Structure 1
């Protein structure tokens, strides 16, 4: 493997091992400190198309919290396709010091006509007593791959409300439909002619605005942070 390939391995490993997996489904609040959601697509010669979709909605109450949402796709076989989508919705009920990391990564290597897409979406609802530290990243790596395409997008929205509660079912359905549309757009991006970087960034910013408005309207919330990162 080349030095660049080793570096790509190292980057992806660091992103995936950023925390310990610990999440709970929609239901009663829990007191856990680490909340990680990982969607991982790994196509192979035996499974030439691999798609992984992971959705998590969790209510937490803890003085110190770290939540990671990661979508990663790695493609290294010719004609193969990997698509990953992660959606994490976190409600922080009690005052806390909280770190929120959202990462989308796609990697192609040593293959022909192969593609990889990754979409990571993290929505966070906090009360007035929570100190939030969000980070949002999108990464794409291509190595020894002349006819490969990658596309990644990471969307992160942090809002504040006076009393933390869950998104209504109708709003959550809107968010889910929005995520499906973004994932479909990424899959289309790797088979269509390349979109200029500025145009892709403008489209992503509009999409981020749409997502933010759904959450703010549903919860009568105030936006603390809204970020998007894309690679093509």
Structure 2
């Protein structure tokens, strides 16, 4: 792993293990009703490389809810690079009616040698009686740019357990490492044609790894596991 990769891993792991700057604090009775998390990268001529990473871990206690995890990147300047990545870990003890939307979108426009990547990951833990409606989407678009490259990936896992509890710190560290590895794969996908061709096969295996990690750590069963990849 490069020095840059080690630094990113340390930051992501620290965010997760601390409950994340954008998440509710870890601890008994912690609640938060703001359930939408967004990572947005918008490089420009003044800032030719832009990277935004958002990590959130949230416990919700009651009521109907809707949670969106969104990673979006727009690159429209020559030789610019944009990367967005969002990870949301959400606990819903229930009973509740819950809608979970996970979206990764990236597009490039009117530029040459520019790149845009977006990674959205949503891990949802629900208790008995919660009616879950998950959706998972990825979109990559290049417009009026022959040498631009885009890559997106969206991963969503919904796990049902008998009694809600937060992921233990070692499990969160594993999720952090998985998240970092997927971000690195996306970055490679916009640099090497071979990586682009094998991206979908790799994504399916990665989804299985995330699903097994969540199920094993929580002792539940997977209600839904989805992946979408676009290049």
Question: Is the shorter-chain TM-score for this pair beyond 0.5, marking a shared fold?
Answer: yes
Q: Distance in 1 between matches of 2:26 and 2:67?
A: 16
What residue in structure 2 maps to residue 80 of structure 1? Answer: 80
Question: Given the superposition, is the C-alpha separation of residues 83 and 120 from structure 1 closer, same or farther in structure 2, using an over 3 Å criterion?
Answer: same
Question: Given the superposition, is the C-alpha separation of residues 25 and 54 from structure 1 closer, same or farther in structure 2, using an over 3 Å criterion?
Answer: farther
Query: 1:125-181: per-residue Cα shift (whole Å, max 9, x none)?
Result: 000110000000000111111100000000000000000010000000000100000
Q: Distance in 2 between matches of 1:214 and 1:85?
A: 20
Conservation of the 8 A alpha-carbon contact between 1:125 and 1:161: yes
Gaps spanning 5+ residues in structure 1: where? 1-21
Q: Distance in 2 between matches of 1:191 and 1:225?
A: 32
- Report the TM-score when normalising by structure 1: 0.87
Q: Distance in 1 between matches of 2:137 and 2:156?
A: 9
CA shift for structure 1 position 194: 4.8
CA shift for structure 1 position 200: 2.4
Conservation of the 8 A alpha-carbon contact between 1:53 and 1:85: yes
- Report the TM-score when normalising by structure 2: 0.87
Asked whether 1:207 is paired with 2:190, we answer no
What residue in structure 2 maps to residue 224 of structure 1? Answer: 223
What residue in structure 2 maps to residue 178 of structure 1? Answer: 178
What residue in structure 1 maps to residue 132 of structure 2? Answer: 132
Query: 1:49-88: per-residue Cα shift (whole Å, max 9, x none)?
Result: 0000000000001220100000001000000000000000
Matches within 5 A, 1:83-232: 83-195=83-195, 199-232=198-231
CA shift for structure 1 position 196: 6.1
Give the RMSD, CA atoms, in angstroms.
Answer: 1.4
What residue in structure 2 maps to residue 47 of structure 1? Answer: 47
Question: Given the superposition, is the C-alpha separation of residues 115 and 25 from structure 1 closer, same or farther in structure 2, using an over 3 Å criterion?
Answer: farther
Q: Distance in 1 between matches of 2:228 and 2:110?
A: 26
Conservation of the 8 A alpha-carbon contact between 1:110 and 1:143: yes
Asked whether 1:58 is paired with 2:71, we answer no
User: Runs in 1 of length 4+ with deviation above 4 angstroms?
Assistant: 194-197
Conservation of the 8 A alpha-carbon contact between 1:23 and 1:37: no
Conservation of the 8 A alpha-carbon contact between 1:23 and 1:36: no
Gaps spanning 5+ residues in structure 2: where? 1-21
